[in-house]
Structure 1
Amino acid sequence: MVLRIHSWGAKQLSYAGRLTLVKAVLTQLHCYWARIYLLPKGIIQKVDSICRNYLWSGKEGYHRVPAVSWERCCQSKLYGGLGINNSHVWNIASIGKYSWWVSNKKDSLWVKWIHHLYVKQQDWWNYSPNINSSWVWRQICKVKDKLKTCLDYQTWLLSPYSTQKTYDCLMGTREKARWIPFVWNRESQQHLFFECHFSAQCLSLVRHWLGVTWSFQSLDCILRKRFQSLLQKQVLMASFACLVYLIWMSRNTAKHDSMIPRPARILLQLQSMIKFRVHALETQATMRNRDWLSDRGLLAS
């Protein structure tokens, strides 16, 4: 985890960027072991410490008091948190599948062996492990006891096992934060490019500049489109990626500075950015591709 942090340019990332990396990468690195063992508290605390420090400082070490408690950060966005997985609760939910298997007598050699050696004819939900039982088996039984107190296990057993649903049940419900719609306003791809008037104008200008004559109603159509050359596809993909960034910047400017840039201005900025990116590929371009780039003003003069 620390090596991953050292490889990232944290100084160039915002809180939102670091939050994305924490959720998508750091909290996922220990998930393999979390699905096999009930991890020691010291390991869980170390994982949480690294994730917390990176979120607030961009480094593995942070010696100030965090602005928000880690417990609050691990709450769902619906309840005022950041939606980061609680490592300890996720570990319990991951190990919970073994309890589900044993209770439903899943057709596997391991479950048959467990019933033959440990459970035998006893009721699984009232079963207590012998002191001489293996450490792993005792941990599974601890998780079973935890699930029994937190879940309606009779209903839980009737549906296929889901780690995410079990995790949500273990986290419980709280009062919804009233400010959620104003902060976590998720915008759809359809609205961003095709329904918003400003974005639609910008997209139209970019399409005209690139010579895109075929119609599409979603960005997925672009990804599935076959192009005449790899370079043309790279330019088109980079252009739409830049457009997303510039639209986001424009909306921040409109909200915080009360200034709305013109779509023509957006196009000029995008052309400048793409020209810089294409410069590295210029020497590798075929004559046909060079003509295509030249027609769009992307070749250095």
Structure 2
Amino acid sequence: MESFTNIIFIICILSLIFFVFGSLMGIIKPTGYYPYTEIGWGKNNYSDFYHLYCEGQTVVALGYSGVRNISMFVEGPMLTYVIGFAMYYELFFRSLGFRKSFIGVFIITIATSFSTTGILIVIFLMYMKFYDFVKKNKFIKYLIVPIVICIVGYSLFFVVDDKFTSNVYSASARTDDILASFKCFFSNFFNGVGYQNMDAIESYRLFKRPNAGLSTGVGAILAYGGLLWGGWYIVPFIVAIANYIRKPETRKKMAFVIMAFMLLFVTVVQSRILCTIINAICWYFILERKCYKMEVLYE
């Protein structure tokens, strides 16, 4: 995953350059424009910058009202999805140790995307990485940590509250997507309704929306493929939770599996090859010890 992380780092650098000098300052001008009628879903019109950066989603949070950094993706959660795994590798799996410049760029990029999920991922990863250090340092443990928790908690509450009050339709639409996809799944439990069969999900929606897609990857997998497809994602998640509790030595790998499932829950990437690769890694992590024991047994 070293090459993947390096690529994501470059993408983040480019996104910050275009976000600052294009979206905020207007020095770099768009080279293309795609209205939602041409895209075929949603209600956002997108401006393209040399096919390296997209501008289309806006946000109102923490006093800021304007464009959010979505890099070359069509929405913030997709950017959070790739940064989450790149950051995880950099912090926990890189044999040479993590690069501070990479972590700094990843955090700044997530901050400019105004992604609540991204902020939670950063907090989760920082907690895991520095847990032992914090636990041993009483000054940080009893004074600094409570202050940081209060600040972060208040900031998250403010962002979430701001998002819901300023964009009630968007929040309601996401909730409706999740409920509709799970209702569809329970009505077609084993086989699902078929790949990309949005018409079957439409009947379960509370709100009828034109050009409506889905905003939950797990919901889409369960609705489209039922337990046959969903099982490939649910089983690693359940096993990872059990191992995380019972086997502390496996927590770094099991936390990766748990994070992968949670990110998929709020990101529509189930049809992308990266999602399949990540799921394959999850299966490798949960089967790794069993495969090793079988090799030893047969030797």
Give the structure with the larger strand fraction.
2
> What's the TM-score once normalised by structure 2's chain length?
0.33
> What's the TM-score once normalised by structure 1's chain length?
0.33
